[in-house]
Structure 1
């Protein structure tokens, strides 16, 4: 028992010691005799504790003496019996108390933040929109509501999912469940809106507009680019096939590559024309027209799939393309496109025309390789230009053979009505410095399509506004393919016209007299008379045709002009063939010791008329379009067709020259014989001299005539005109007036006409005496 008693006393002592420590460290000590109280409590009667106002014990006893009891805060705002602060106010509990405060959006008129009961509640609404003007900006409008505000969003903007009442953000219409664009168009979201645009390679229908919700797109369709009718060319067919491949691969991303590929195909075609070089001039001009117009159509169509802005590309050979596409919102007053050698400026009305809602395209393409393809193209001068040239040269002027100086630059726009522009287009070209000669001028010209698909240079509607040695500026009232040309004008010289008219009239009269003489003169019967007769007949017909129809006033190579050229070809060749027959006749007479009777008449006619007919038939079969030119109805310079005349003429002149050399050599041998037959020798000498003189008359005439249908000088022009127009007179003088037998026949005819007595004996005697006197010195010198 004793040990247990000691243990209880020891435990009581320890507990009293701990209690004493607690009482000594209590902060609520009232006096030294009061029991210890917990936090938020005070001592009552030195024996008990009670909680301060706003606190209570866990068992809700007002007084307590338990040393382990605590005081906790009373939540006056909780429960159905809690403090009621009134409308638009909230109760907020604090340690040992509470506060009432206005909810967000309300405030006390006094400006106080807190109050204690509903009787003090004077809450009123706060207008946030008035106090903060930046609320709901920039895409919404602030609207005040009791205790709050809300934002009304602008079209294209909506409430954020985080704050559906106040923050306005862009709505992505393209991601909406209901697609806002037509299924043929692409949707592009923008701030507050969206755009419906056609995919690259497509364009909007005419009744819809790109970038609008009702846009309906269609694929870009190309006009058929095929060979011109009647043209067969492997090179051109290969070019068109390659072009089609480039078009099929066109996208906006590859636009510049496709455009450059098309231009390189053009360079390849013009740089290596292949079988196009063999095409006749009219066909080559058709190809040039098809190439120019077709390339414009393709580039104009492809440009409609480009975005707004400019595109510029250039090939290694210098072909350049500049494009610009505009929409109504970025339409400029004027457009300026520049190349290395060409610059263009035009007004926006020229590009847009009557279209004010759709997009518009303008392009400029310049090419250096068209010079050979357009070679020998004609120039048509408009009436206004002809009047100014007539004043300048004081005579009638027609367009001559032009020389291309600059690049050929084509302009194309969306506006289909470009024949008469509301304002002119201005073009500036750089070109080489060339000397300007008489009858030459640097002009502005454009390529004009003919009704048959060919083309020519023209000046209508284009004027030169400025020029220097290496540059020229033009203004034109229509759009086409333009270039700077060196024009060689065909100026009508009145003096040459007078010489031609008078000379041909005299020649025709003289040739007619020759024909009558050879038909009626009995003393001239023989093969040489036949040759001279048909020589004069051919020249008479050829000169008549030359006088009547060699000048082509219409500049159109029609059937009539081709017929005139063919007849001239035939009859002038026939004249040279009969001249050649005279040389052969002389060969048989002299070289074969004067025993030959010459060629029979059937051989004369076969060679005199059959040989030129065969040459003309072969020439027409090979190249029928070689007959006729724009300036003259004569043989074309294309494919060397002029040599179908020059070749035989050269051979005939050379052959006759050889025959005459042999004849003179043989005559020299005969004269050196011991016993020469003087009568025959004199006859052969006379025939030889006559034939050589005839060769000089006809040969020299056509030697100078070679320059008539090409670039001639004024001196050569006069020489040819005089020799050609008076060659009938020269033949009449040579074969009639200088022939003794013909003179005697003329005297007889005159006597018969005048009824005078004609004495053949006296005439012969007089002639014999004269001949004897002329031979005596030679005989004496020979002795």
Structure 2
């Protein structure tokens, strides 16, 4: 019996040895085969070298491990390693010599397992925490599942508690308490008191489930008050404007708060007399939201509508109140400075001083986002209104409350995109409790007499400038530096006046209008620059009256007059065009736009030139006064004292100093100064031709020679024509009738 027992003992011992070899054998047996022991986490290869096990690598990165090297764990989850990604919605976890994957928080495997090995086993899907109860929303909030997580949002009729840690998963809410809507202080009105009593009753009995009914009741109460204002219309205008401000601002605040209790979707309501509400509540919006009512519509970007918190439903609404205009009669209109200058430029400042009149219903816009100033994208409004008359100006305005509780119409942040006979499109970069609407001014047409004087005067100046330019070019006897200055001034003024008369109103094509405006800018600047050179030359000439040698003045003027006369205006126009090319051309004229002070690209140089020329003129008169008695008799062109004095005074018109009359067109004398300014400056070309041509003895002598030459040429031409006709038409024998007094020899020779 000992034999079998001994045999079983040997078998058991062999199994134990085998288990020990299987556990430690690969390293021990192979290590015994290698020249020296292998480091941890490595194996002997071919009995000659050691190699790191899978999931490990040596510090040198080689397969063979040298003595002293160790095998380090490979981080398979490190970004960029191929073949180790766990896929979308999953997280990678590194282990010693390997890794495993788990679904990200908010996701789980379809199989219900907690781990998987690689991306091919990834079946992670979203967990609905709201259904499974795996959320931490307060009882006052509702759970809304999101991709990989959830949000806690206040229930309808509730709002986040101020000061609480309102995050997506820990929102604490409280019931909505509406702002107090009370009458303005100091205004006594039974109609207004009854209105606010009914409003407070509606708000006191408010239930979130009846939010829609409450909104409609409030709109109806506002409508009833505006349709039957009662003693409100007996209040002073300033108090009526205060009531309108309270109604507009309060209605906007109440509707914004009540709308938070509405379910998602649109809400439209219209009273019997035309008051309308168009409202929409959305969790998420598209690119734009459009609200339509009978009297217009509003287009707004969803980013503007959305709550500043960026979660939960958002509200956008539009209210049209046709009866609000009764309380806004006589309200003033405040224009921005730039718009005021544009208006005066367009209509020559002839505006009747009277209050604007409403052209459309008052439309109030409100959104959930209370940060509605300086919006990232403008809001577009389209207003339907009655047709405007030919002498009426339409504005896009809004109602802006003032510190005293009243208000006024303002154009700040609003502009008109386009207008037709019965509709106008506006854009605004802000929203609040103000009403967006249309207003107008009656504008007077331009004085027809001034227009006639302008066109007649410029036409006559064009003729005189053309004659003067031809005289300066063809009259050799007067060719000098002064003549060159007169010629360039005449050419610039001629081209500027011609372009003004023919193209100043060509505003149909904006590009062409901008080119015309730029050309006029250059030509008139060049004209004033040549006026400056004329003034400088006159001053230098007068200062050297006692000196016979004018060579220094002539050399100076010949060297610099062309570069200065044409170069300086070119630089100014180039800088203006490069900085603001879109400001060339206005809606009414092809001229410089007054916006952003762009008009000073012309007025600045002109004012400087007028000031300098006026100084030159006064110094010239002073020099003449002190030196006329001692004029050098050799200066032949300055012998006639009276003619010299007249020409000097005439320089006041030629040098453009009379343009200063434009500054005096204010107050009671504005109209008279406008006529004087137009007459004198439109005839500047006539003054140039009169002074430099007709009153010049040398030019008159040249004109006489030209006229005699023309008459002589004409007479010779007529005599030649008559003689030729007689010789060709008369018979041969008739020639002898005229030959009795011719000597015989000549008579024979003629035969």
TM-score by length of 1: 0.42
Question: Rg bigger for which structure?
Answer: 1
Q: Greater helix percent: which structure? A: 2
TM-score by length of 2: 0.44
